[in-house]
Amino acid sequence: MTYLVGYSPHKDDSCALALACQLARSESDTVTAVTVVPRGWETVAGSATDGDFEQWAAEEGEASAAEAQGRLGAYPDVQSSAIWVTGRSVPAAILDEAKRLDAALIVVGSGQDGPEGQVSVSSKVDRLLHSSHVPVAIAPRGYAPAVSSTVTRVTLAFRDDDATWNLLDRVATICQRVGAELRLMTVALKQRTMVSSGVRRNETLVYANLVEQVTAAQTEAVEHLASQGITASTLVATGDSWPDALASVPFADGDVLVVGSSSTHKLANVFLGSSAAKILRNSTVPVIVVP
């Protein structure tokens, strides 16, 4: 089983390579870095312009693959390789390679315009997230774990719906296999409105009831896992906004965050719902989005 890394010669994707190797090391899997270079348009046979373009594309691909392989050399304990392919759409070409290689996971880096140390979704990654048939892992910008590190804790964004319950069992099994801790996190936002004290008291009661329901659902999930011999901790992330709530969650080296895609979408692929998208874009640790 291999983890496919989308590697670009035009930006620093070492964080994606580092994350892929960290994940692969945890599962004793392999890593394949893939560079996508432009594919030429159909032209008259023998066109010099077409030949020049193909030569340039091949040189770009070879150089990028060599660069990726050189960076992968920093992780000698992980079996890895680097290749290049042509395509008119980077996300489509990556998905095609994921199918061809039977990849278990696609790993990408954050957009260059995002803040350092936080997950940022570029337009290409956004299209990938809405089309992938396999989980997609996104490294925060500048992510640089220790060379020999593994995943030590998985935080699952828990919604208490059927899709999340199915995901719970899958994630718990993986955690048990790799020896990682499992933590269930539910976000409960406070509503701030300028109203009378009486209405504010009612809102406080509503929020307290919400937290009580969330806690009860998490307790049920923990008991379900305990019946299978699996231990999990819980956390309710609170705040006035999504950034505040995510900032309140204590994360450490070796943490990854897992979110499921929308349970209302009909296709069996990644399609982010509103909550998952907000969690993703405010995370300071790698995020794995699961179909």
Question: Could you say which of 103, 138, 173 is where a domain stops?
Answer: 138
The verdict on 131 and 170 lying in the same domain is: no
Predicted pLDDT at 265: 47
Q: Can you point out the beta strands (E) in 94-134? A: 105-108
User: Does one domain contain both 45 and 98?
Assistant: yes
* 201, 231: one domain: yes
CATH number for the domain that contains residue 132: 3.40.50.620
Residue finishing a domain among 111, 138, 165:
138
255 lies in some domain: yes
The last residue of a domain, from among 76, 106, 138: 138
Going by the DSSP 8-state scheme, the letter that residue 155 receives in this structure is E
Residues 173 and 276 in one domain: yes
Sheet of 153-157, strands arranged across: 80-87, 30-38, 2-6, 105-108, 136-138, 287-290, 255-260, 153-157, 181-189, 233-239
For residue 145, tell me if it sits in a domain: no
Structure tokens at 129: 């997230």
Whether 244 and 116 map to the same domain: the answer is: no
* Buried-exposed string 10-41: b where 16+ CB fall within 10 A, e elsewhere: eeebbbbbbbbbbbbbbbebbbbbbbbbeebe
Question: Same structural domain for residues 121 and 183?
Answer: no
Distance CA 232, CA 175 (A): 10
Residues 104 and 168 in one domain: no
Residues 88 and 158 reside in one and the same domain: no
Residues 125 and 170 in one domain: no
- Domain for residue 146, yes or no? no
For the chain, how many structural domains are there in total? 2
CB 172 within 8 A of CB 232: yes
- Are residues 91 and 167 located together in one domain of the fold? no
List the beta strands (DSSP E) in 95-224. Answer: 105-108, 136-138, 153-157, 181-189
- The whole-model pTM stands at 0.87
* Ranges of H-type helices in 45-89: 48-72
Helix (H, G, I), strand (E, B) or coil at 154: strand
d(CA 123, CA 140) in angstroms, rounded, equals 16
Q: Residue 48 in contact with residue 80, Cβ under 8 Å?
A: no
> Can you give the C-alpha Rg of the chain in angstroms?
21
Are 261 and 191 contained in the same domain?
yes
Tens digits of pLDDT across the chain (291 residues): 899 999 987 776 799 999 999 999 998 899 999 999 987 655 555 555 566 778 888 888 999 999 999 999 999 999 999 999 999 899 999 999 999 999 999 999 998 888 888 998 888 888 898 889 899 999 999 999 988 999 999 999 998 888 888 899 999 999 988 899 999 999 988 766 545 555 556 677 877 888 889 999 999 999 999 999 999 999 999 888 889 999 999 999 999 999 987 554 444 444 455 788 888 889 999 999 998
- Supply the range of the domain harboring residue 69: 2-138
Single-letter amino acid, residue 267: L
Same domain for 133 and 219?
Answer: no
